[in-house]
């Protein structure tokens, strides 16, 4: 049975949105027109679910998540707190898609806290988008993105690192045994980047 809510005491669902029975919606979350939230999906507190968003069965969405218009979040995807999903980006959940395949396997995808994914990006299933990473508009992500990593292109390559504030990190200030430390020229915060991730950046930046 499908339930359509006009208002709820602790959250808002537009009259033209559809929320299926069994979905869990957190306090102060807003779900806008033509969105569709499937059964057993879990959406945290203070989220904004834009127009034409599709959230599939059993999907988990954390707190303070912004999902822009036209986004599809398919079964097998988990989105942690403070994530931004740009307009019309999409997830996948099947590595071998066939319309006639009745024995397919859901391949999970994880988007870690604070990450941002740009408009029209595609996330191929089975990857992890690290904490506070940034995926450029139109990127096709086929492998894991490290924490604070900046990736773009098709296929997406690691082109640098970003601060909590989203600006690209340019100033390398020092190193220790495990990390390369950058200082953000915009907000002044220092960000630790794992050396293995920095070495990957050096390999991929000119590809």
The predicted-structure confidence for 73-124, as pLDDT tens digits, reads as follows 999 999 999 999 999 999 999 999 999 988 889 999 999 999 999 999 999 9
Residue 98 included in any domain: yes
> Coil, helix or strand for 195?
helix
Say what the pLDDT of residue 71 is.
Answer: 98
Q: Containing domain of residue 161, as a range?
A: 2-165
Residue 170 included in any domain: no
Q: Check if the beta carbon of residue 92 is closer than 8 Å to that of residue 125.
A: yes
Omega into 155 within 30° of 0, i.e. cis? Answer: yes
Q: How far is CA 186 from CA 91, 125, 182, 190, in A?
A: 31, 33, 12, 11
Say what the pLDDT of residue 28 is.
Answer: 97
Residue 172 included in any domain: no
Residue 46 included in any domain: yes
Say what the pLDDT of residue 37 is.
Answer: 98
State pTM to two decimals: 0.93
- Domain of residue 119, CATH code: 2.160.10.10
Query: How many CB atoms sit inside 10 A of residue 188's CB?
Result: 9
Total tally of structural domains belonging to the chain: 1
Return the ∠ at Cα 44 (arms to 40 and 45), rounded to 5°: 145
Residue 31 included in any domain: yes
Residue 190 included in any domain: no
Residue 144's closest CA among 110, 175, 170, 176?
110
Residue 183 included in any domain: no
Q: How far is CA 104 from CA 4, 83, 95, 98, in A?
A: 31, 28, 9, 9
Mean pLDDT of 34-45: 98
| pLDDT tens digits, one per residue of 157-189 | 999 999 999 999 999 999 999 999 999 999 999
Q: Check if the beta carbon of residue 120 is closer than 8 Å to that of residue 136.
A: no
Residue 193 included in any domain: no
Q: What is the spatial order of strands in the sheet that 18-20 belongs to?
A: 2-3, 18-20, 36-37, 54-55, 72-73, 90-91, 122-123, 140-141
Q: How far apart are CA 16 and CA 194, in angstroms?
A: 46
Mean pLDDT of 182-202: 96
CA atoms within 13 A on the CB side of 66: 10
């Amino acid at each position: 049975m499908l339930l359509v809510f006009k208002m709820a005491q602790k959250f808002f669902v537009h009259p033209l949105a559809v929320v299926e029975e069994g979905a869990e919606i957190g306090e102060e979350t807003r779900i806008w027109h033509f969105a569709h939230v499937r059964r057993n999906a879990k959406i945290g507190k203070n989220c904004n679910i834009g127009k034409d968003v599709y959230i599939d069965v059993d999907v988990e969405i954390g707190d303070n998540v912004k999902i822009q218009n036209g986004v599809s979040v398919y079964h097998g995807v988990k989105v942690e707190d403070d994530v931004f999903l740009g307009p019309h980006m999409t997830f996948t959940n099947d590595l071998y898609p066939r319309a006639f395949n009745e024995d397919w396997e859901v391949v999970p995808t994880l988007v870690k806290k604070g990450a941002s994914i740009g408009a029209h990006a595609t996330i191929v299933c089975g990857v992890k988008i690290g904490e506070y990473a940034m995926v450029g508009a139109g990127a096709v992500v086929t492998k894991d993105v490290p924490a604070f990593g900046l990736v773009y292109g098709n296929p997406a390559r690691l082109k640098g690192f970003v601060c909590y504030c989203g600006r690209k990190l340019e100033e390398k200030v020092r190193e220790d045994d495990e990390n390369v430390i950058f200082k953000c020229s915009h907000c002044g915060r220092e960000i630790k980047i794992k050396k293995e991730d920095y070495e990957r950046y050096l390999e991929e930046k000119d590809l």
